[in-house]
Amino acid sequence: MSRDFAVCRGRGQPTCVVDGDTIRYRGERIRLLDIDTPEIFSPQCASEREWGRRAMYRLVELLNQGSFEIVAGFGNDRDVYGRQLRRLVRNGNSLGDMLVEEGLARRWTGMRGGWCG
């Protein structure tokens, strides 16, 4: 699937990027299950917010570069916030892995880590 993604500007947008590891697609909230990115809504420091914004805008770019698949089937279907847990894949490559390779995310290990200092 491919859509025109932008940063979410309110709850009414059915398709948009919430942050570096969460999107809305056709009204469904989707959490990229293979990565963790810095927080932008409740950061522990200013640099975390800045890196979180960079990850968010880069995810917008990656999503808009062409078709991708939303892939399920990796254990838990939803997280504690009700978001679908999925991988976003283009040509067999995880978009989350691309963010990790660019230093904008880290692999999800099941635990949140700090992004400050």
Give the residue among 55, 53, 48 at the shortest CA–CA distance from 105.
55
Is-catalytic flag, 28?
Answer: no
Locus of tokens 């999925």? 86
Is-catalytic flag, 53?
Answer: no
**Marked catalytic residue, from 24, 31, 54, 87:** 31
Q: Which residues have a Cβ under 8 Å from the Cβ of 92 and sit 6 or more positions away?
A: none
Is-catalytic flag, 83?
Answer: yes
**Marked catalytic residue, from 24, 54, 58, 83:** 83
Catalytic residues: 31, 39, 83
